[in-house]
Amino acid sequence: MTEMDSLKNFIDNNREAFEDNRLPLGHKMRFYVRGGVDMKKYLIAAAILLFGIVSPMLYNSYFNNGPEKYKKVLKEREGQITVLASSMDERDKKNILMILDQLVKETIPLEEQLPETLSSETKNEIITNYYKTKIEGADKLLAYAESIE
What is residue 44's predicted lDDT score, i.e. its pLDDT? 79
Of 104, 96, 102, the closest CA to residue 131 belongs to 104
What is residue 64's predicted lDDT score, i.e. its pLDDT? 54
Kindly report the CA angle at 16 between 15 and 21, in degrees rounded to 5? 110
Q: Does the predicted model carry a pTM greater than 0.75?
A: no
User: How far apart are alpha carbons 74 and 96 in whole angstroms?
Assistant: 15
What is residue 98's predicted lDDT score, i.e. its pLDDT? 92
What is residue 108's predicted lDDT score, i.e. its pLDDT? 86
What is the block-wise mean pLDDT of the chain (149 residues), using blocks of 10 residues?
82 75 74 69 77 68 65 89 89 90 87 88 87 90 84
Of 63, 66, 38, the closest CA to residue 122 belongs to 66
What is residue 1's predicted lDDT score, i.e. its pLDDT? 64
What is residue 4's predicted lDDT score, i.e. its pLDDT? 81
Sequence-distant (≥ 6) Cβ neighbours of residue 77 within 8 angstroms: 135, 138, 139, 141, 142
Domain regions of the chain by residue span: 3-63, 67-148
